[in-house]
Structure 1
Amino acid sequence: MSLVNAGVVVLDCAEPEKLALFYKELLDAEETGTSPDRVEIGRADGLRLAFRRDANVTPPSWPRPENSFQAHLDFLVDDLDEAERRVIALGGRPLEIRDTSGPFEERGYADPAGHSFTLCVTVPSGPKEG
């Protein structure tokens, strides 16, 4: 028997209902649980995210040269341009716009609360360079 049965990534934010709606629409997910201070979404393929209310949350500040990129979410997509249009229509914003060359293409974004995530055409397999 496994010691840990399941996990969920939890993002702290001031308004969990609004942030959950952003990701629910972006990921075609369903709301799976709600309490006054937490909203959880999921999909049949096992993807789960939760959003926890924190009235004192400070939005992430990436990218700043003095801070390294500590954590972010990667989402695999088939069409970067189409996925980008959806992110922006839902209230996300690009963090960087660049032509990525190499074994995979990716673009960075921030959700409406400032958490960073990446849309990737292929799974990155090596360390970040640059």
Structure 2
Amino acid sequence: MAADFPILRQVVLDCPDVRELAEFYRRFLGLHYRPGDEPPAERDWLVLRGAEGIPQIAFQQVPHQAEPTWPDGPRPQMLHLDITVPAVADLDAQHTRALALGARLLRDRSDDPVEPLRIYADPAGHPFCVFVPPSRA
């Protein structure tokens, strides 16, 4: 039986240190390594999975990866991750966690009445957003 559509397997982030970036997202998002990718395995490609075992994010070693300049500049972002939380209190709690794990705050719109959000750079400089989605009620 042929598939009508291809399946998106995972998002891959290039980075100069795959273990450092994989550990950041593993700890921040509560993911786990694909069997064989756990530390101390030395790899140039690592995969993190969700609780269901479905690959979600992978990391590819690129030794001389230049950090993106966000939002403008000579190396603008080509991709960013959107991460949601249910309430502003959760946004604040995740802010503390993100910084403790090595993220840098790039923009704070946590007081936005429609869509509170914060934009960060992960340890490799990739931008990601954590936000409370607007109510669709």
Q: 4, 7, 12: which is aligned to 2:9?
A: 7
Q: Number of residues paired by the alignment? A: 125
Q: What displacement does 1:6 show?
A: 3.9
Q: Report SS of the residue matched to 2:97.
A: helix
* Aligned match of 2:29: 27
Q: Is the Cα–Cα contact under 8 Å of residues 104 and 121 in structure 1 kept in the other structure?
A: yes
Within the alignment, does 1:72 sit opposite 2:80 as a pair?
yes
Q: Kindly, what percent of the aligned residue pairs are identical? A: 33
Q: What displacement does 1:69 show?
A: 5.3
Q: Output the TM-score relative to the length of structure 1.
A: 0.82
Q: CA RMSD for the aligned pairs?
A: 2.6
Instruction: Report which stretch shifted further, 38-47 or 104-113.
Output: 38-47
Instruction: Report which stretch shifted further, 105-114 or 33-42.
Output: 33-42
Within 5 Å, which residues of 2 pair with 1:1-130?
1-2=2-3, 3-32=5-34, 34=37, 36-44=43-51, 46=54, 48-64=56-72, 70-78=78-86, 79-122=90-133
Q: Is the Cα–Cα contact under 8 Å of residues 14 and 54 in structure 1 kept in the other structure?
A: yes
Matched residues in 1 for 2:78 and 2:28: separation? 23
Matched residues in 1 for 2:6 and 2:111: separation? 37
Structure 1 gaps of 5+ residues are 126-130
Q: What displacement does 1:4 show?
A: 1.9
Q: Output the TM-score relative to the length of structure 2.
A: 0.78
- Structure 1 residues 89 and 64 mapped into 2: Cα distance closer, same or farther (>3 Å)? same
Q: Report SS of the residue matched to 1:96.
A: strand
Q: What displacement does 1:64 show?
A: 2.6
Matched residues in 2 for 1:117 and 1:32: separation? 23
Matched residues in 1 for 2:134 and 2:112: separation? 14
Report the structure number with the largest CA radius of gyration: 2
Q: What displacement does 1:123 show?
A: 6.0
Q: What displacement does 1:66 show?
A: 7.5
1:35-80 CA deviation, whole Å, 9 max, x = no partner?
A: 7211110112546000100012111111336876542100011311
